[in-house]
A and B are shown apart, each in its own frame.
Chain A
């Protein structure tokens, strides 16, 4: 059973601080890794994707991938109230399941004043 694991939270982050979200996956064949943000009552919105080991930065967001340890993380710098949402990690194994996304349970982020 291929699994994608996330801490469900909630993760409470003071406004202006860094939020750190982690995700582990069991399938070593996983090739592509995504972070989606989902506000309550809305559909998931892609915020980051990463394919290679290392860091990828986009604005206040940084995705980190370590395939040897099978984890991917998301850092949100200078957290804002608008960052309060559920963040879902998703992976796809292109070898036998091209394009199919397997999602983690999601981590709820709460930004405190």
Chain B
């Protein structure tokens, strides 16, 4: 299975600022996804990162708040913009090689907003 690395692993940020999270996969993958896990909750899909085109966002998530880039088949970034304490969560990147392969996750980025 692909090895997925995320940076940073954790950060503490001031409200109103933005943070960009990087996700690097050690092999080319078809699909990359970004999930959010709020404290004590399960995972919720934010968006699908599409290579060479705009990301596809799930209901409740918008591009202005969570801009995503995917310049190639191994790398994606998620930016959390204009952060508020409600954005304090774990943000997880996942990758999928093909429809028959299971999805694996990176170690996540633990984000706290003061």
Chain A interfacial positions (CB closer than 8 Å to B):
32, 34, 42-46, 49, 51, 88, 90, 94, 98-106
Number of interface residues of B (CB under 8 A): 24
Question: By the criterion CB–CB under 8 Å, are A46 and B33 in contact?
Answer: no
Bound-state CA distance A100–B58 (Å) is 10
List, sorted by A's number, 18 A–B pairs whose CB atoms are closer than 8 Å. A34-B103, A43-B90, A43-B92, A43-B108, A44-B92, A46-B102, A46-B104, A90-B43, A99-B30, A99-B96, A100-B33, A100-B45, A100-B48, A101-B33, A103-B43, A103-B44, A104-B42, A105-B42
Q: Which of A43, A45, A49, A94 has the most CB of B within 10 A?
A: A43
Contacts of B30 in A (CB 8 A): 99
Q: Which residues of the other chain, B, contact A51 by a CB distance below 8 angstroms? A: 100
Residue of A nearest to B105 (CB): A43
Q: Report chain B residues within 8 Å CB of A94.
A: 99
B87 within 8 A of A: no
Residues of chain B having any CB pair with chain A under 8 Å:
30-31, 33, 35, 41-45, 48, 58, 90, 92, 94, 96, 99-100, 102-108
Whether B33 lies near A99 (C-beta < 8 A) is yes
Given contacts A103-B44, A105-B41, A106-B42, 11 further A-B contacts (CB under 8 A): A32-B102, A43-B92, A43-B105, A44-B105, A45-B105, A46-B103, A88-B42, A88-B43, A99-B96, A100-B33, A102-B45
A32 to B41, CA, bound (A): 22
Query: Whole-angstrom distance between the alpha carbons of A15 and B38 in the complex?
Result: 31
B33 contacts across to A, CB distance below 8 A: 99-101
Inside 8 A of A34's CB, which chain B residues have their CB? 102-103
Task: Please state if A99 and B108 are interface contacts (CB–CB under 8 Å).
Answer: no
Q: Once the chains bind, are A101 and B103 in contact (CB under 8 Å)? A: yes
Complex contact A101–B99 (CB within 8 A): no
Please give me the residue from chain A that is nearest to B90 by CB atom: A43
A101-B31 in contact given A43-B108, A46-B102 (Cβ < 8 Å): no
Q: Once the chains are docked, how many angstroms separate the CA of A5 from the CA of B96?
A: 24
Smallest CB–CB gap between A87 and chain B, Å? 11
- Chain B neighbourhood of A98, CB < 8 A: 31, 99
